[in-house]
């Protein structure tokens, strides 16, 4: 029974690959193949940095990674400022900082949350708790 399941899984994967290859151009297949060959033996972080999810702003990804290293373990959530509220920015932050809740450019910061500023802005009255790549992590005034 195990061989039959494995064969069905291989067949299903082959069919999915053929369907996928028919929906994208040969140029795109070639580009993806070069990417896979180039980054196959790199670290996961390097592969993520070079991937499509970070292509809109690679420095933002480094900012998030730096912020993650300085984020207190008991953080209730993080509100990120200094960039436009986009789905790319939100999804990358939500994924990278999970399970810590994240908002990008919110109108209000929930009580007890930290503020992370990407860039040079300085929120008035907030106490800096960590300098991060291209930004700063702040705690709400008490």
Per-residue pLDDT of the chain (142 residues; tens, 9 = 90+): 578 887 777 777 676 666 666 677 778 778 777 877 777 777 767 766 667 677 788 889 899 999 999 999 999 999 999 988 888 899 999 988 999 999 998 988 899 999 999 998 877 788 999 999 999 999 987 7
* 48 domain residue, yes or no: no
How confident is the model at residue 21, as a pLDDT? 65
What is the span of the domain harbouring residue 6? 2-41
Number of domains present in the structure of the chain: 2
* 46 domain residue, yes or no: no
* 49 domain residue, yes or no: no
Neighbours of 115 (CB within 10 A): 22
Does 67 lie in the same domain as 32? Answer: no
pTM of the model: 0.70
Does 19 lie in the same domain as 61? Answer: no
How confident is the model at residue 16, as a pLDDT? 66
Name the helix (H) or strand (E) containing 117.
strand 114-118
How confident is the model at residue 72, as a pLDDT? 92
Does 128 lie in the same domain as 59? Answer: yes
* 97 domain residue, yes or no: yes
Does 125 lie in the same domain as 93? Answer: yes
Does 125 lie in the same domain as 59? Answer: yes
Residues 6+ apart with CB under 8 A from 132: 63, 66, 67, 69, 70, 116
């Amino acid at each position: 029974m195990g061989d039959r399941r494995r064969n069905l899984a291989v067949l299903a994967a082959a069919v999915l690959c053929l369907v996928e290859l028919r929906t994208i151009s040969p140029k795109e297949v070639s580009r993806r193949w070069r990417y896979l060959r180039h980054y196959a033996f790199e670290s996961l972080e390097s592969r993520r940095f070079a991937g499509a999810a970070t292509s809109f702003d690679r420095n933002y990804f480094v900012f998030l990674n730096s912020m993650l290293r300085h984020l207190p373990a008991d953080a209730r959530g993080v509100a990120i400022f200094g960039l436009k509220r986009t789905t790319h920015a939100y999804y990358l932050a939500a994924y990278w900082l999970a399970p810590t809740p994240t908002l990008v450019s919110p109108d209000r910061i929930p009580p007890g949350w930290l503020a992370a500023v990407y860039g040079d802005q300085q929120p008035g009255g907030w106490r800096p708790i960590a300098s991060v790549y291209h930004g700063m992590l702040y705690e709400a005034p008490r």
